[in-house]
Amino acid sequence: NAGVTQTPKFQVLKTGQSMTLQCAQDMNHNSMYWYRQDPGMGLRLIYYSASEGTTDKGEVPNGYNVSRLNKREFSLRLESAAPSQTSVYFCASSGTGAYGYTFGSGTRLTVV
């Protein structure tokens, strides 16, 4: 049981480049989330998808787009990377109702 799988684990981008962070879960969860975590800071919600076919903005959506490809997969895209987007990105998923999230192991992104 893999849980939540994120790829890649590490990435270095130049300013202005684009990339897509991939996330897949195998727990048949309805809801999926993208967070960023900056050094010494907590988890800030970028976007979430409560169910397949829906996406909504979180606290810090600027500079990002998301796609809920199917029930398993939720991708995060940076169209034009900026140094301020240097962070660790976590994907998470949860079942319907008030349940805890299962997090992936993160993608460490550096934009130079």
Contact positions toward another protein, by CB under 8 A? 4, 30-31, 33, 41-43, 45, 48, 50-51, 90, 94, 96-106
CB of 80 to another protein, least distance (A): 27
64 or 106: whose CB is closer to another protein?
106
Q: What is the DSSP string of 17-45?
A: --EEEEEEE-S--SEEEEEEE-TT--EEE
**What is the bridge-based pairing of β-strands 31-37 and 87-94?**
antiparallel
SS3 (DSSP) at 84: helix
SS3 content of the chain, % helix, strand, coil (to 5): 5, 50, 45
CB of 55 to another protein, least distance (A): 13
Q: How many CB atoms lie within 10 A of CB 110?
A: 13
36 or 85: whose CB is closer to another protein?
36
17 or 88: whose CB is closer to another protein?
88
CB of 16 to another protein, least distance (A): 28
CB of 70 to another protein, least distance (A): 18
